[in-house]
Amino acid sequence: MKKNRFSMLALLGIAAITTVFILSCSDDDTPSPTPSPTPSPTPGTTTKNPACFLKDKEKLATIYTMKDLDGTGRLYEVNYTADYKLDEALDANISSTMGLLGFVQHNLYDSVPEPPTNSTLSFLPGCSAFAVPDPQGNSYQMGRNYDFLHRVKISGTDQYTYVPISAFIVRTAPAGKKKSISFVDGLNFGYYQGACNNDTTDLSLLIGLPYAALDGINEDGFAIGVLSLNEAPTMQTDPAKKNINTTVAIRLLLDNASTVDEAIDLLGQYNMRMFNTDDKHNYHYLMADAKGNFAIVEYTRNPSNPSEQFPTRMEVLRHNDTLRCVTNFYVSPTMAGTNDGWGSEHGKTRYWDLRSTLQNHNYALTPEAAMSLLSLVSQERKDNDPTSFTQWSALYNLTNKSVRLALLRDYSKFFDFKVE
55-78 per-position pLDDT tens digit: 999 999 999 999 999 899 999 999
Candidate from 181-185, 228-232, 291-295, 301-305 with smallest mean pLDDT = 301-305
- Spatial CA neighbour of 406 closest among 7, 66, 139: 7
Higher pLDDT, 154 or 363: 363
| Cβ(94)–Cβ(273) below 8 Å | yes
| Per-residue pLDDT at 113 exceeds 80 | no
To the question of domain 2-411 being in CATH 3.60.60.10, the answer is: yes
Of residues 346 and 364, more confidently modeled: 364
**345 confidence band (pLDDT: 50, 70, 90):** confident
What is the dihedral sign for C-alpha 206, 207, 213, 217?
positive
| 183 DSSP β-pair partners | 169, 215
CB count in 10 Å sphere of residue 38: 17
Give pLDDT, residue 343. 82
What Å distances lie between residue 304 and 24, 38, 238, 279, 283, CA to CA? 50, 55, 18, 22, 22
The mean pLDDT value of the chain amounts to 86
Q: Hey, which residues does 216 pair with through a beta bridge?
A: 182, 224
Which residues, 6 or more positions from 94, have their beta carbon under 8 angstroms from its beta carbon? 100, 103, 243, 244, 245, 248, 273
Q: How confident is the model at residue 14 (pLDDT cuts 50, 70, 90)?
A: very low
3-state secondary structure of 413: strand
Give the per-residue pLDDT at 174. 98
Span 274-301, pLDDT tens digits: 976 656 689 999 999 999 999 999 999 9
| Confidence (pLDDT) at 278 | 58
Decide if 231 contacts 330 (C-beta within 8 A).
yes
What per-residue confidence (pLDDT) applies to 271? 97
Of 8-17, 273-282, 376-385, minimum mean pLDDT range: 8-17
Q: Is the pLDDT of residue 49 over 60?
A: yes
Q: Is the pTM of this model over 0.85?
A: yes
Q: Angle at Cα 236 formed by Cα 227 and Cα 214, nearest 5°?
A: 25
